[in-house]
Amino acid sequence: MFIQQRGLAPSLANQLIYEFNHNWGLDQPLHIKYLIYIRNMFTWNFGISMANRTPVAGQILARIPWTLILIGLATVISIGIGITLGVVSAYKRGSTLDSTNLVAALMLGSVPVFWLGLVFVVIFSQWLRLFPPSLAWPSEWGLPGQSPMLYSVGNAVVQGSNGFVTTLNVGSGALTVAAGIISHAFLPVFTLSIFLYGGYTLLARATMIDALTEDYIVTARAKGVSETSVLFRHALRNASLPIITAVALAFGFLFSGATITETVFSWPGLGLWIFRAVQLKDFFAMQAIFFIITLMVIIANIMADFLYGVVDPRIKYG
266: closest CA among 23, 61, 63?
63
d(CA 67, CA 274): 12
Q: Cα 228 to chain center, whole Å?
A: 32
d(CA 195, CA 256): 17
Q: Cα 147 to chain center, whole Å?
A: 27
Burial 204-239 (b: 16+ CB within 10 A, else e): bbebbbebbeeeebeebeeeeeeeeebbeebbbebb
d(CA 174, CA 168): 8
Q: Which residues contact 220 (CB under 8 A, 6 or more apart)?
A: 229, 230, 234
Domains of the chain: 43-134+189-311 (1.10.3720.10)
Q: How many CB atoms lie within 10 A of CB 285?
A: 25
Task: Strand 164-169: give its sheet, edge to edge.
Answer: 149-153, 156-161, 164-169
Give the pLDDT of the chain (318 residues) as one tens digit per residue: 444 445 567 777 788 778 877 776 778 888 888 888 888 888 888 888 877 778 888 889 889 889 989 999 999 999 999 999 999 999 999 999 999 999 999 999 899 999 999 999 999 999 999 999 988 887 776 655 443 333 334 434 444 434 444 444 444 467 777 888 899 999 999 999 999 999 999 999 999 998 888 888 888 888 888 888 888 888 888 888 899 999 988 888 887 778 889 999 989 888 888 888 988 888 888 889 888 888 998 998 898 888 888 887 777 765
